[in-house]
Amino acid sequence: MTTTEARKNYNLTRREIGYLARSEATLNDYKRIGFRSGLEVHQQLKTVSKLFCRCPAGIYHRHDEYDAEVIRHMRPTLSEMGVYDGTALMEFRTRKEITYRINNRTACTYEVDDTPPFPVDRHALNIAISIALAAKMNIVGEVHITRKQYLDGSIPTGFQRTAIISVEGELQLRNKKVRLIQMSLEEDSCREISDIGHKRIYKTDRLGMPLIETVTYPDCLTPDELAEAAEYIRFLNRSTGKVRTGIGAAREDVNVSCEGGTRVEIKGVAHIKWIPELSH
């Protein structure tokens, strides 16, 4: 199929489904299709150390600044239910060779999964609690470190250590409230350098840096409400003066669905201004 034919089919499909540009869409249009959306906002915290080791946080290296490389192949393991995760099997079939570039200044044996985690960074925990209180959330009675599977190789262990800090809060937007499900304290993943063929390369300078994940209910009924909620969360986080700023310091995962359809997750949106068009 040529580029011209592909464009023709694309435009034909848009006409057949009655597609409207975002500039033309009204609230009634979004109501008609049952538009619902929510956010998972990841925000790095401004701490001296990483979350589960005492390596310095916030120091970044060039791609060619590394002292060693570790090569790994991810393999699926049985879950607690005695079954294999379908996504893990799919990722395993790609036969990726994962290479981690390690700089001694920002990584230790914990980053390469050769040492158990150190006690959680107390400064990061205190920042997370203060932001949760500002969002009128309920702080949990006990903080338990759990594991979340990471199947793309961006964390050498194959899982992310994460802990729920608070549950059930709300954001007051201009014309409505958006409910919050939870806020978690997590360790960040590696930065990807390249992904070519069966080889994927990461660097570990960002790995293990503390971040919070704020998760909303699917209460946003238009793309503009979604962007407004993201802006509010960014303002709330930055109002403490204890979070990092700049490219990559905050990233949004956008969950979108329409009535009768399945949920679609748009991962790693770097700029809030992109959210309305992407979710539309």
pLDDT at 54: 94
SS3 13: helix
Give the alpha-carbon dihedral of 61, 62, 63, 68, to 10 degrees.
Answer: -50
Amino acid at 187: E
Residues 83, 150: Cα–Cα separation, whole Å? 17
- Enumerate the domain spans of the chain: 25-279
**Whole-structure pTM value:** 0.88
SS3 237: helix
pLDDT at 121: 95
Q: Mean pLDDT by 10-residue block, N- to C-terminus, for the chain (280 residues)?
A: 79 81 85 91 95 93 92 78 77 84 92 90 95 94 88 85 94 91 94 90 94 94 93 93 90 90 88 90
Residue 124 is encoded by which pair of tokens?
């990061």
